[in-house]
Chain A
Amino acid sequence: DAGITQSPRHKVTETGTPVTLRCHQTENHRYMYWYRQDPGHGLRLIHYSYGVKDTDKGEVSDGYSVSRSKTEDFLLTLESATSSQTSVYFCAISEQTGIAGDQETQYFGPGTRLLVL
């Protein structure tokens, strides 16, 4: 299994409070991603990173920001949490090896379950 951890694994917070989720990898992979999983929607990309301090928006980025100051850590921040951000959040990583299909192959962390009351 890829060395990916997420913290916290569970969190309950109140509307309007800031929340930061952390993804940590030990694989030294260049690419990191944040997804949210909701019933009926599958997984949707929030933000991704293609290197230290290099990030870009995904499909559902509104209300979220990210930072990557080190290769191994990718932080997702909800500046002011809303009930619509109640979800399960997954981090993923991938690497460019030159072998066809490798860069597209993503490995996922265990997830963080967030409840916004």
Chain B
Amino acid sequence: GNSVTQMEGPVTLSEEAFLTINCTYTATGYPSLFWYVQYPGEGLQLLLKATKADDKGSNKGFEATYRKETTSFHLEKGSVQVSDSAVYFCALADSGAGSYQLTFGKGTKLSVIP
């Protein structure tokens, strides 16, 4: 079956530090890949996505590249801000297997300190 594994947190960084959150996946078909962000007390917001190999998703300074050879979709940001403190979820949708359901990783909590 499909699965998503992301690095366990919590992750604590100083403002302006470089961020990497690792995400790897297992899928039977050709998945689309997503990063969602959840701010405290809120629902999930789509951060970025990629639908095929070598695609790069980007938004708000965050980037992730769909690497089929390593089955990875790592999230990066060059300089984090306090406002980036949130929980980040990696997810996949395996439309190639006939399903558009999302499979989520367990989430990584990021705290950015001034």
A interface residues, Cβ below 8 angstroms from B? 31, 33, 40-45, 48, 58, 90, 92, 94, 100-101, 103-111
Contacts and interface: CB of A to CB of B under 8 A. Distances in A.
Contacts of B95: 103-104
* Nearest 5 A/B pairs, CB to CB: A104-B93, A101-B51, A42-B104, A108-B43, A42-B106
A50 B51 CA distance: 21
Contacts of B52: 100
A83 to B, nearest CB: 22
Interface residues of B, number: 21
A108 B100 CA distance: 15
A12 to B, nearest CB: 17
A100 B96 CA distance: 12
B44 A108 contact: yes
Contacts of B107: 42
B90 to A, nearest CB: 9
A42 B107 CA distance: 6
A94 B46 CA distance: 12
B53 to A, nearest CB: 13
Contact of B101 (A40, A41, A58): A58
Interface string B38-66: 00001111100101100000000000000
B106 A41 contact: yes
A90 B43 contact: yes
A58 B103 CA distance: 11
